[in-house]
Structures are given as structure tokens and as C-alpha cells.
Amino acid sequence: MNKLHDWPEPVIRVQSLSESGLKSIPERYIKPATDRPSLNVEEDPSNMDVNIPIIDLTGLSEDGNNLPQSTMDQISLACREWGFFQVVNHGVCPGFMDQVRETWRSFFHLPMEMKQAYANSPKTYEGYGSRLGIEKGAILDWSDYYYLHYLPLTLKDYNKWPAPPDSCREVIDEYGKELVKLGGRIMKVLSISLGLKEDRLQNAFGGDNFGACLRVNFYPKCPQPELALGLSSHSDPGGLTLLLTDHQVPGLQVRKDDKWITVKPAPHAFIVNIGDQIQVLSNANYKSVEHRVIVNSDMERLSLGFFYNPKSDIPIQPMEELVSTDKPALYSPMTFDEYRLFIRLRGPKGKSQIESLHSPR
């Protein structure tokens, strides 16, 4: 952990760069040609109408048990084929979702010196940040962010949450409660859809001792969006992600059959995606899928990634019910603490981390 003491280079806020009015982006944000986004829809019109599945959760109860079979089938298919889906009628009040997003937008529009009071370090990443990973000389992403913990309670520290804007901490707290509830219900649905008892997946996460954290991503306008990425390709290292985005500003792209599909968010939907820990626990029946974020020159974009994670110090390995002689365990056990150190050191790197866990056979 000693390596995680400080950033390897002085931190530059992307928002300050963007607001300085520069016409071309500094070299350290220019991605290699192979990683640059294609922003020209004419180049790939086949993707224009494609979207990740949208699933209606009307009637989802606390025990996750009463969705129609057709909805369970849609979820199961989405987790196998896309690793991503959007949920609507999920029970979180649309007005509250808007309030949370706008509260965070106000945070990012505070004067820089107020935000700097929360500047983070790579030791825990909590607070206001502008890079993931500590590789010296790395090509950086065009975004700033704020990262904080909800659970376990031993990690929850209000002093590390922003105080201005007014009522920010209360709003963040309430949002955490709502999303823990929704995440718990979706965990039950996923467990049932894998053919397991409703609590099986949650128990594999450590029961009530699971973790939850939030990363709010802020993507300022970028004068050369064709050269940069807001967030490089990665799969989420944790369990389950519930993402709230700006629905008027597209940006999230999901890899499907070697193409990048731009997600069209439904108003007041949450985008749900499978993280690496569920891929491991489900023995790859459910997939964590690479995604990335493109930026644009006209509009800033904000997204809130809520990460529902296993307890950080228990071994995570394929659940025995999903292992057979035909399908042996694909991954060696590893704790989430060990696993996420990779991303804390190296930053987003496609699916290289989970691929390194493959059991030798």
C-alpha cells in the first residue's frame, strides 16, 4: 500500500483546463489512435438504433420474488449477453434523482478553492480527484470525479463528503439509503435468475457486511473530443453498478461483439451493470463488460456510479452450485481488497484484471 502515497505528477483539474478556453488539448490527454472514439455516426450507421435492454421493474418487491417470468428472462439474457441493462419503474422517485444530480452539478461548479479542500490522494481515493491509477506518464482521461464510501459504516466519514452546496450531505446520505435498497433487491433478482436461492448472491458478498461507494464523474466540455476519452475502457471491479447519468447527454459506450454501442439512457432510468465480482461468483454465466465514456465539445456531462460490492476481505470465487465437471471453476479465489488494488495502481485497463484471475487448467 506504500506505493499509494501520492500522485506521481502535479494534479491538473480537467475542468480548469476546459474553462481556460484552450483550443487543443494537452498531449497527455491524447489517446493512441487505436483507442480513440469514432464520433462520426455515418461511419457506423448500424449502431444508431441499437441500445442496451430496457427492463420495467414495476412490482419489484423486497424479496425480489414477484417479477413476471418474462421480466426475469429479460434480465437473465441481458446479464449473459450484454452485462448491462437499464431499469425503469425501479421505485426511486424521479424528482429525487434530479435533485441528487443537480446537487452534484452545483458541487462541480463551486469555486475551485472550495473543491480543493476535498482533494484526494491515491491512498483511499476518497474526495475530489482527477485521475485513476498512479502510473507516471500515463495518458489521462478527460474527467474529474468525487469518490466516497457509504458502507461499511467503519469507512463512512462525513468529513470526507462535500459540505457545500447546502444540504449536500443529507442528499448524498438519502441517495445511499435508496440505492442500497434497490441494489439489494436487484441482487435477489440476479440470484433467483441464476437458479439460486434469493439470498445466495448476497451471502456470497458477505451478507449484511457488503460495501457500497459512490463515484460522481464530471466530464467537462472537450475542444477535441475525437482525440480523448472521458473514461478509458474498463470493466467495473466490484459487484453491481447502478449508474445515473445525464439523459440528455450521451457518453457511455458499451462493447458488444467488438463494436462500441452508445447507450441511449431512458429518462429516470438506472443503468445496471455486472461487475467483475459477479462474473467470478457466477462462474462467468453473467458477464462484466467493457465500457468507456466519450466526451463532446458542446456539453458537460455528469454521471453517478453507485458500486454495490462484496465485503472486502473474504475470498470471492465461483459459487459451488455453478461449478460442475462440465464447467469447472474458471477463477482462483481473491479478496476484493486484493483485486481493487490493481485498478488503484494502474487505472482503467479494459478486462486485463479479470483475465489475470483465470484458473490454470
Question: Contact positions toward ligand AKG, by CB under 6 A?
Answer: 215, 217, 231, 236, 243, 245, 251-252, 291, 293, 303, 305
Q: What distance in Å separates the CA atoms of residue 148 and residue 142, rounded to the nearest whole number? A: 20
Cα 88 to its chain centre, rounded Å, is: 18
Which of 236/300 has CB closer to ligand AKG?
236
Q: Which amino acid is at 91?
A: G
Q: What distance in Å separates the CA atoms of residue 300 and residue 279, rounded to the nearest whole number? A: 32
Which of 164/350 has CB closer to ligand AKG?
350
3-state secondary structure of 321: helix
* Least distance to ligand AKG, CB of residue 4, Å: 19
* Least distance to ligand AKG, CB of residue 257, Å: 20
Which of 271/329 has CB closer to ligand AKG?
271
* Least distance to ligand AKG, CB of residue 145, Å: 8
* Least distance to ligand AKG, CB of residue 67, Å: 26
The answer to whether the CB of 316 falls within 8 A of the CB of 336 is yes
Which of 132/134 has CB closer to ligand AKG?
132
* Least distance to ligand AKG, CB of residue 306, Å: 9
**Phi-psi category of residue 88: left, alpha or beta, with phi > 0 → left and psi -120 to 50 → alpha:** beta
Q: What distance in Å separates the CA atoms of residue 65 and residue 81, rounded to the nearest whole number? A: 23
* Least distance to ligand AKG, CB of residue 334, Å: 20
Which of 74/241 has CB closer to ligand AKG?
241
What torsion, rounded to 10 degrees, do the Cα atoms 74, 84, 281, 148 define? Answer: -130
Q: What distance in Å separates the CA atoms of residue 150 and residue 356, rounded to the nearest whole number? A: 29
For residue 201, give the nearest of 239, 157, 162 by alpha carbon: 239
Which of 115/301 has CB closer to ligand AKG?
301
* Least distance to ligand AKG, CB of residue 293, Å: 5
Which of 214/322 has CB closer to ligand AKG?
214
Helix (H) or strand (E) holding 252: strand 252-256
Q: What are phi and psi of 348, to 5 degrees?
A: -65, 130
3-state secondary structure of 100: helix
Strand partners, 256: 259
Which of 148/252 has CB closer to ligand AKG?
252
DSSP string, 154-166: TT--GGGS--TTT
* Half-sphere exposure for 225 (CA within 13 Å, toward CB): 18
* Least distance to ligand AKG, CB of residue 182, Å: 17
The answer to whether the CB of 122 falls within 8 A of the CB of 4 is yes
